[in-house]
Structure 1
Amino acid sequence: MSHEGSALRTTYCLNAQVADSACTATAYLCGAKNNDYTIGVSGRVLPGDCKAAAEPANQLDSLLAWAIEDGRSAGIVTTTRVTHASPAGAYAHTSHRYYESEQDVREMGADLETCPDIADQLIHSYPGNQFKVKPF
């Protein structure tokens, strides 16, 4: 049987056989495997390692960033919170999927200076700050 013209993609995490939506979103939106609980960062970032997540070399671009760089419009449609791991894979670079808000970052013992929350990244960081917003 020939596999010519076919493609296979696996979405399990580097550090876990059973994937969570953070690492799977990174796999299908950024094209790279990473560790569970991390979003938009390489496998060099372990869960909770804000310093490693802040390193530009560890941050991955998503399909949406590529589209924006090509002069196209981009955005997300979701039935969950825009800061949830699946939609956040389009724009966030974080070492923990539960760093959704400032309060979450503080409650988990991380520092907001080195670990910006996911909501902040959507509003203030590229590519989220370039998304087209259309109210329904």
Structure 2
Amino acid sequence: MYGVAVDALGMLSTIATGLAIDAYGPISDNAGGIAEMAGMSHRIRERTDALDVAGNTTAAIGKGFAIGSAALVSLALFGAFVSRAGVTTVDVLTPKVFIGLIVGAMLPYWFSAMTMKSVGSAALKMVEEVRRQFNT
């Protein structure tokens, strides 16, 4: 388990760079949208499209990195819990363990749903504000 913990720590040590790279995607996408709404030339739109493709690629790489580091951290955390609690066996058929597995499996989906709902409502308000500003 020591190797897994060190590996997870190594992946997390570059998290600041990964987050900065992951933030590039939406910025380049917004630049393309602004260029299109502002009626810029086709040449500028081609450049922003190229930046958008690069941004989507870096975002995909960042997401894969985040998933891998989260899996390793989860494994290391579970190993630390088992070691500290002195658990020798985990019986999945025990009701408390089974309920914990079900609830634990549901939490990421619930969190994702709440995040997407709030992002959707914020994006809708932003679109309404942009339309209001363009109409006046």
TM-score range, shorter chain: under 0.3
The structure having more radius of gyration, on CA atoms, is: 2
Flag the structure with higher helix content. Answer: 2
Report 1 or 2 for greater relative contact order, CA contacts < 8 Å, sequence distance ≥ 6. 2
